[in-house]
Amino acid sequence: MSVRLKIALVVTCLWSTFSCAADNYDTNPAALALVDQLVKEQDFDREQLLLVFASAQRQESILTAISRPAEKSKPWYEYREIFLNDKRLEQGIEFYREHRATLARAERETGVPAEIIVAIIGVETYYGRNAGSYRVIDALSTLAFDYPPRSEFFTGELKNYLILTRQQGFDPLALKGSYAGAMGYGQFMPSSYLSYAVDFDDDGVEDIWTNPVDAIGSVANYFKRHGWTKGGTVVVGATAKGPVPEQWFVQGRKNLEPGHTVADFIKAGLEPTAPVDPKAMATAMKFELKNGYEYWLGLHNFYVITRYNHSAMYAMCVYELSRRLAERVSS
């Protein structure tokens, strides 16, 4: 950590009227244990880490948000309206055209379609317009040390965050993200940042917060590393003509990974509406409409989209938005 950053940390601690009060973490036993671990395993400076945790603030709004009972899932016909609207489409076209050269390069180097990259960024943050207003250090510290149900997970993410900020020369007190610590255009958690973020413009910094070039390259790299197949089919529509076992359909986060062949589904009465290899592995989806259901078979690339967010409806929104973007940009 540079001398300038160390001075900034001291100033921040002195400036905040709460930074040395009970709501900070420099005397928290779990935080001190993490400090010990980082000093021992990663050769961090103990004093500098204590300055960081002296400034990290417990945020009650974060605890309220993460512990709020999950509302009943919206049906598909309501859920899709959140993401498949004119505003998100028009802003996506603007983003696509502004960064066309970068997107073309990302597609060329990774095989991930430009429209899929844009759709992910659009669904996640409205193309960087809504990337989160919480300091990441506050979000991760609050959840690591004051949210027992997922303390282990968020402690690991906090550790990764401190490693990446030192690695990249970022001020750990300055970066902002979601209440859960997701960061930048594509809302990477720190572990995902360390694994998949790339310096796509070769300026020496992997900046997914303010640099759309790095953000585009990083999202593309995420998909490539999760096995995106260039030119592969994502989903095909289907028609229910028989009693397909209910347990074969996606149930929340269950059954997202393809577990039956297309031929299995055809035999059970779920027939694709477009040509598809009967030997291909697929997963079945049944989405609620105002009147009835629509049916889909998701193939390997659809499963890859669900690795970004473990939700079939999320992945379908990304796919549908990507199709609309591709149609408009090419017209």
**What CA–CA distance (Å, rounded) separates 92 from 72?**
29
Tell me how crowded residue 197 is: count the other CB atoms within 10 A of its CB. 25
CA dihedral for 316, 97, 208, 199, sign (positive or negative): positive
DSSP SS3 for 235: strand
Q: What share of the chain is helix, strand, coil (3-state, %, to 5)?
A: 55, 10, 35
User: Is 124 a residue of the active site?
Assistant: yes
**What CA–CA distance (Å, rounded) separates 155 from 191?**
11
Backbone angles phi, psi at 71, to 5 degrees: -70, 155
**What CA–CA distance (Å, rounded) separates 30 from 158?**
12
DSSP SS3 for 30: helix
DSSP SS3 for 261: strand
Residues paired with 240 in a beta bridge: 270
Question: What would the two tokens of residue 135 be?
Answer: 């300091």
Residues paired with 270 in a beta bridge: 240
- The single residue of 107, 115, 124, 206 carrying the catalytic annotation is 124
**Is-contact 70 303, C-beta < 8 A?**
no
Strand order in the sheet with 260-261: 260-261, 281-288, 293-298, 235-240, 270-272
Question: Catalytic residues, which ones?
Answer: 124
